[in-house]
Structure 1
């Protein structure tokens, strides 16, 4: 059993034995191998409290059985990672803490956190909505939720698609998307949808004084300016720019049916104030047809 913290630069994948996390392990192993990175597989066995209802104590054997099951899950996941092509030693961690804070702590040093689209066991009671939203809202590194077509096949081809809205989180997402496209030898599709922009943007002088037909040109020019510097840095990446008078979630969900990876910022201009994960990102985590990579903005200061 290994309980070491993830070393800097490792990819960390949370597992619980479900089909969704098995796909996440394969995706994480292949990604780590392509980049020469280490891979750490993490399983949580924390139990809140030591009593059943009515004050009845939980037998000590119960905790031992949980740990044995956790070790079995970790061993199977490590074997699956090696079969998927992990080129370096696969580390394993049996964590005796609640899974969400454990993964957030590991994210301080990890290159990336990878999760499956559903969970059981170590993520008991935590469906995608609670686990993924909590981790992506607070992690210190990018988080990938591995989703596939019809919940099964994870696409291995197609473009990397990034949502662009001009926010700080979006700027970081663009940077990560260019890097991902370059490393994967994939084209990049930059999608900018402006129908749900905020009040100041929708009623800016540039839009208010333009005809509706010319607004598209204003948005296309703005998108091109946001991408220009990154295109110079990554000349090997073929870029397609898409501007649509539509809600971002609609456009990005449609593109997820053709993409190999979808990249979005953790919090853009959309959604409700005070939400750590925007409504667009939440919709993608629940319904996209490819892996979704969520990037948080750089901390202030």
Structure 2
């Protein structure tokens, strides 16, 4: 793996936000950027070659414009471009194998904007070899009211990786880290009224607090100036994480490893968070 940020570029309006986010991150961490645009949909029809050639040329012009904007706003960042033809999901997954980070966009504009989006984005995040950052097309991503980096923690090895990523980003941004652990009471057919013994609820809360404390142990030695807010809540993990992420600058969730099946699947929590984005969101494995 090198220190390059691969950025998926399309003609969608969100592309400007995607490139801006990636270039700011590259400038802060002394990374380079590779802009990648993929022309897909070929079926081998007669006369299709000319259409593809024109599309490839248009894609290169798009990348040249975005590269010029990066050189203007972040002159210290090295930027290269690449245009390819094929399946966008497969091309970006392949590109992620040699990347430190893959950044893509989503046309989802937040709650109330219509149905959830991102089938391609979910597949890319599930199959990528590196962390994936998904930037939604939301107008207030840079609003001063937004603060903090939210990370979901469940005590698993995957969530430890997510925590390390989130802590590094919070430290880079000068933001507090909001570490969220969520517990959900056991569901049973005969407990439809959701009546639970107090001892059970108390123990669930206490055990989750312990999981969070263990996960955060030692973090201060790596990031002595990092402010950490601990959140232990009862509910459904994706809903609680999304609620805290609604006013955050970044959300971070973990997901399962890759594989023949995992290539097209995410864990339910990360998939639910990605399906209705409320902020820039990183998926870490």
- TM-score relative to the length of structure 1: 0.80
Match of 2:63 among 71, 74, 97: 74
Q: Which ranges in structure 2 are unaligned for 5 or more consecutive residues? A: 109-115, 189-195
2-structure distance, mates of 1:251, 1:22? 29
2-structure distance, mates of 1:261, 1:169? 18
2-structure distance, mates of 1:45, 1:288? 26
Q: Is the contact made by 2:183 and 2:204 (CA closer than 8 Å) also made in structure 1?
A: no
Alignment correspondent of 1:13: 7
- 1:205-254 deviations in whole A, cap 9, x for unaligned? xx999442343233212211111122322212110100001111111111
2-structure distance, mates of 1:196, 1:163? 18
Is 2:8 the counterpart of 1:50? Answer: no
Q: Is the contact made by 2:70 and 2:77 (CA closer than 8 Å) also made in structure 1?
A: no
Match of 1:60 among 39, 44, 49: 49
| Residue 117 of structure 1: how far off its partner (Å) | 0.7
Is 2:147 the counterpart of 1:153? Answer: no
2-structure distance, mates of 1:216, 1:143? 31
SS of alignment partner, residue 19 of structure 1? coil
Q: What does residue range 23-172 of structure 1 map to in structure 2 within 5 Å?
A: 23-51=17-45, 57-85=46-74, 87-118=76-107, 128-147=117-136, 151-155=138-142, 157-172=146-161
- 1:272-294 deviations in whole A, cap 9, x for unaligned? x9973022212221222210000
- 1:31-82 deviations in whole A, cap 9, x for unaligned? 111111101110012443221xxxxx12432122111211121112212323
SS of alignment partner, residue 91 of structure 1? strand
User: How many corresponding residue pairs?
Assistant: 265
- 1:162-187 deviations in whole A, cap 9, x for unaligned? 00112221121111111111122211
SS of alignment partner, residue 165 of structure 1? coil
Alignment correspondent of 2:253: 264
Alignment correspondent of 2:224: 235
2-structure distance, mates of 1:192, 1:233? 21
Alignment correspondent of 1:174: 163
2-structure distance, mates of 1:228, 1:113? 29
1-structure distance, mates of 2:49, 2:210? 65
Alignment correspondent of 1:220: 209
Question: Residues 65 and 103 of structure 1: is their aligned pair in 2 closer, same or farther, counting only changes over 3 Å?
Answer: same
Question: Residues 194 and 267 of structure 1: is their aligned pair in 2 closer, same or farther, counting only changes over 3 Å?
Answer: farther
Question: Residues 86 and 100 of structure 1: is their aligned pair in 2 closer, same or farther, counting only changes over 3 Å?
Answer: farther
Q: Is the contact made by 2:127 and 2:263 (CA closer than 8 Å) also made in structure 1?
A: no
Question: Residues 59 and 159 of structure 1: is their aligned pair in 2 closer, same or farther, counting only changes over 3 Å?
Answer: closer
